Amino acid sequence: MEESTHPAAEPGVTHVLEGDTARLTVTGELTDAARRPLVRVLTDLLLQHEHALARVVLDLRDVSFMNSAGMAVLVQLQRMAAPRGVEVALLDPPEGVLRPLQLSGLWRRFPLVDSSGDGVAPAPEDGAS
């Protein structure tokens, strides 16, 4: 008997290195299927640019959905980078990414980058809706 369930497709992950900052662009859903491609790219960057990398910016503007497994992927990426002194920041996360991070309290772990000025955006207030 053939199984009718198919594993979720891996999201698209591309990266660009600009000075000491790597920008990883994620398209699609941020679920457990994102773990392998994101960990692979970050591992390669950390190994190839061990002393030159200071920041990884995750461009999440094209992420259509994120679940708890996707949040775990973000935490895993941060845990991989932190011992090497590399900051992991989130670029313009859409409401479907930001809201679960706010509700879980994880949003405090990640600096938010605003693409309009490429600066760090202020963290949302605790009572923000």
Domain contains 4: no
Domain contains 121: no
How many domains is the chain partitioned into structurally?
1
Quote the pTM value: 0.82
| Mean pLDDT, contiguous 10-residue spans, the chain (129 residues) | 48 92 95 95 92 94 95 97 96 94 93 74 43
Q: How far apart are CA 39 and CA 105, in angstroms?
A: 23
Specify the pLDDT at position 117.
Answer: 60
Domain contains 119: no
Domain contains 3: no
CATH number at residue 49: 3.30.750.24
Specify the pLDDT at position 14.
Answer: 93
Q: Which helix (H) or strand (E) holds 113?
A: strand 112-114
Domain contains 88: yes
Domain contains 53: yes
Specify the pLDDT at position 115.
Answer: 83
Domain contains 120: no
Q: Where are the alpha helices (DSSP H) in the chain?
A: 35-48, 68-81, 95-104
Full residue range of the structural domain in which residue 39 is found: 12-114
Domain contains 1: no
